[in-house]
Structure 1
């Protein structure tokens, strides 16, 4: 029996991979999407399902889980083969294109699109003794359900976009929100920082957490040290959320039988989204090119570029549609 050979295999089921899958369906490619998690959505849905996403054109203030839900609905318009709970362990160049090996099966594909983001993420832990006993109880590294913090006194440690977003997200429901940063200024989007300064969030700057002790009443007594000073102060809260960022782990890629050009652990691509390996394309946060801005909106633009490049490679005589409205999804449209 002859093996099925896909036109394209999309590795990664986050927002970039999901939109690439939809567009592959629009272009009527024989495609598969493989995602290691048991559900679509990637890190966005797994770590920050209730985070407000601001950079999607025409969808103001949409929650991450709502965005993922709408992407899933969109994928149903032009469904492709989707495999969840599978990890791609190797991609090998062969005479048909590529052999795709997962922990469950082997398949074949003429081309590959990598949409893995920055790979697996591990939160940067709080460097304080004896905090392990508090983790996932009163010390957290991300927020999956904001209702868990209703009427609680919360301190968020961090100064980037995610920390600012968390503070603004929890402000309406928490009893009190503090945002601690080791600098006087924040690195978040200017508009969000302006909203932060207008909010009821108490800014604890420039401080670092030095110690956490649990009180007899079950609260947390925080010792905060002022930067470039011996000054310390105490603050009592119910929960601490540490948002110092994540370390990325692209072991999945390094185990493949392919050798990519990389820059600061990002895959280098050209304007067609092709990597240094012919027939392999990459999109999303894990790629780099001149002028790259790491936003979900950017990844949504990279997805149709990569799919169109795949079509041009496999079917060079096939004329691309001028725009998406020229594609007919069904007889009723």
Structure 2
């Protein structure tokens, strides 16, 4: 198989980190492809939280998830990596020139591979109540697709992490009322956001667990039970938004024979996995001190790309900053000056 049939870098996963990795890979003039199992780019941010406001993206005081993804795609479109959607990678195997990648649609070849699959296939951690399913996508929601659904409504949010607190702050500005249910008195969210919530007009129901759901005059009646007590109460609301986190499935990693820790890929400081030539970035990886932020993944992407380029072209000096890279693309340079 001649090298002309090989991609330099194959990026598996098209979330925010994967998109930026593809952009940077093309800036390094690598022949690049992205393989994404969903029917759109953007990962969890694009599919599940398009309306969520993000406050920890460098350079933005705040930005909605959908806008962030669109900005990344606009940046990416200047370089045009090959992108394949609705395609799942089944296996990666070493060959004499790099790697053979088998998907559910084809066999493709690459000198190096960068895994940016995030948490993998994800499902929300659902409410453990027998009749909860009958209310799903009606009064009971696990995702927020459109904030307008909550305008002028009574909203109850269940959960104690960043997502629950973030949504409470977001919905507070448009809803008639917001209540927050958590099984503990303390929250696991960013301290500044919890502080903001405590200063706002939000009712805290802690420490309570949801015990039952019933209909009442086209609204939802939520029965609560106090933790370790017999105390109960009932709340009538228009919507219940449950944020108990996600259950992820990364079973395919086992087929790729990569060294893992708690279902996360172990990487070296250059983002290389236990298999030379395969790198990993974003929330799928594990190393001491890593923080699960999109910003962290953005920083890992250039490290992985430059490490891969050292394998592909060991004789070429690594570019130090973006201005050196843009010099290779006169059309973009001209466009940015106009």
TM-score (norm 1): 0.96
Equivalence for 1:262: 260
CA distance in 1, matches of 2:324, 2:97: 32
Equivalence for 1:126: 127
CA distance in 2, matches of 1:71, 1:36: 18
Two-structure CA RMSD over aligned residues (Å): 1.3
Partner SS state of residue 225, structure 1? strand
Superposition map of 1:1-333 within 5 A: 4-215=5-216, 217-254=217-254, 256=255, 258-327=256-325, 328=327, 329-331=329-331, 332=334
User: Which structure 2 residue ranges, 5 or more long, are not aligned?
Assistant: none
CA distance in 2, matches of 1:291, 1:233: 42
The Cα of 1:204 is off from its aligned counterpart by: 0.9
The Cα of 1:326 is off from its aligned counterpart by: 2.0
The Cα of 1:38 is off from its aligned counterpart by: 1.2
Partner SS state of residue 41, structure 2? coil
Query: Could you give the per-residue CA deviations for residues 66-121 of structure 1, whole angstroms, max 9, x where no partner exists?
Result: 00000001101222111111111111211221111111111100110000011011
Partner SS state of residue 278, structure 1? coil
Partner SS state of residue 165, structure 1? helix
Q: Which structure dedicates a bigger proportion of its chain to helix?
A: 2
CA distance in 2, matches of 1:181, 1:95: 55
The Cα of 1:60 is off from its aligned counterpart by: 1.5
Partner SS state of residue 209, structure 1? strand
Larger mean CA deviation between 129-138 and 13-22 belongs to 129-138
Query: Could you give the per-residue CA deviations for residues 211-251 of structure 1, whole angstroms, max 9, x where no partner exists?
Result: 11111x11111111111211111111111111111111012
CA distance in 1, matches of 2:139, 2:126: 14
Query: Could you give the per-residue CA deviations for residues 33-55 of structure 1, whole angstroms, max 9, x where no partner exists?
Result: 11111111011110101111111
Larger mean CA deviation between 300-309 and 285-294 belongs to 285-294
Query: Could you give the per-residue CA deviations for residues 105-138 of structure 1, whole angstroms, max 9, x where no partner exists?
Result: 1110011000001101111111112111111111
4+ residue stretches of structure 1 with deviation over 6 A?
A: none
CA distance in 2, matches of 1:152, 1:25: 46
CA distance in 1, matches of 2:330, 2:304: 24
CA distance in 1, matches of 2:108, 2:268: 27
Partner SS state of residue 285, structure 1? helix
